Amino acid sequence: MGFFDKLKAGLFKTKETVFKPLNNLFKSLRKIDEDFMEELEEVLICADVGYESTEAIIDKLRDRIKEDKLKDSDEILAVLKEIMCDMIGEGAPLNTGANKPDVILVIGVNGVGKTTSIAKIANNLKKDGKKVVLAAADTFRAAAIDQLQIWADRVGVDLIKHTEGSDPAAVVFDATAAAKSRNADVLIIDTAGRLHNKKNLMDELAKISRVLDRELPDSARETLLVLDSTTGQNAVQQAKEFKNSANITGLVLTKLDGTAKGGIVFSIKNELGIPVKFIGVGEAVDDMEKFDNKQFVQALFEE
């Protein structure tokens, strides 16, 4: 099964509860009036597209209907898809540079699928021919180190780790040395999944950043925030809090296959302006791919 088919299957719950009614709404369209617009608004809000994002979509759709004098339901649906594609934007590529290794710092609270996301991103990069090294800098939970080791073995990449309770910055220091000596293309760093409103998380990220600034000053850097799609608008709030303490360059959305709230993608991009770079639609190691806005919207609407 290709990833688009997995994406369609993974978005089944969202499609059934939200976008199926939306398709039905367009099929039964007789007249474009306020009743139709209100129904459309309700469907989008139920998908966790978010109030602000929904209002923006509806306003743009009204303008296009008026400007282009649209009356045909197929034309209006096509315009709606176009507006939604534009709203979430194209999936931005990972930051890369001429001086290897590129660095990906991964943050997020416990339980969002951070460790498995790291493995899946490593697998994705490996398929692209990249040599990847992982750093187990979440040293506060032995389970996190063990879990990352299992995934590293499964994917076939090197893992640099210390014992539980070690200084995360020391792990990162050793990982930068290993990445350089092994001529790695990418270094991916797992960080502690503590709550986003704790000062110690900010301090730890600052300490790790200082090590990276010193040891890999010319490397391209990426900070990815992993969010659990099933938490809906709570994920948006979580992202806002993290944005206050870290320079987030991209988002990883997990568990899209387990939620009817797939519309969260629109809300996050519209309210935070941070690009979604990866989405996960399953448990398998190849169930995460680089985000493609056109594929995503097409998968939502396609039967």
In tens digits, what is the pLDDT along the chain, a chain of 303 residues? Answer: 566 787 777 777 777 777 778 778 888 877 888 888 898 898 888 777 888 889 999 999 999 999 998 888 888 889 998 998 898 877 788 999 999 999 999 998 888 889 999 999 999 999 999 999 999 999 887 788 999 999 999 999 999 999 988 999 999 999 999 999 999 999 999 998 765 456 777 788 889 999 999 999 999 999 999 998 888 778 888 888 888 778 899 999 888 877 666 777 888 887 888 888 998 887 888 888 888 888 888 887 776
pLDDT at residue 303, rounded to an integer: 63
pLDDT at 153: 97
Q: Spell out a b/e string for 59-98, using b for 16 or more CB atoms within 10 Å of the CB, else e.
A: ebbeebbeeeebeebeebbebbeebbbebbeebbebbeee
Assigned token pair, 214: 């010193």
- Confidence (pLDDT) at 96: 92
Residue 152 confidence (pLDDT)? 96
Structure confidence at residue 47 (pLDDT) = 72
3-state SS of 33-76? CHHHHHHHHHHHHHCCCCHHHHHHHHHHHHHHHHHHCCCCHHHH
Residue in the block written with tokens 């790291």:
118
Amino acid 23: pLDDT: 79
Instruction: Decide: 268 and 239 in contact? Cβ < 8 Å.
Output: yes
Output the pLDDT for position 226: 93
300/14 Cα distance (integer angstroms): 8
Closest CA to 239 of 279, 276, 200: 276
Per-residue confidence (pLDDT) for residue 1, from 0 to 100: 56
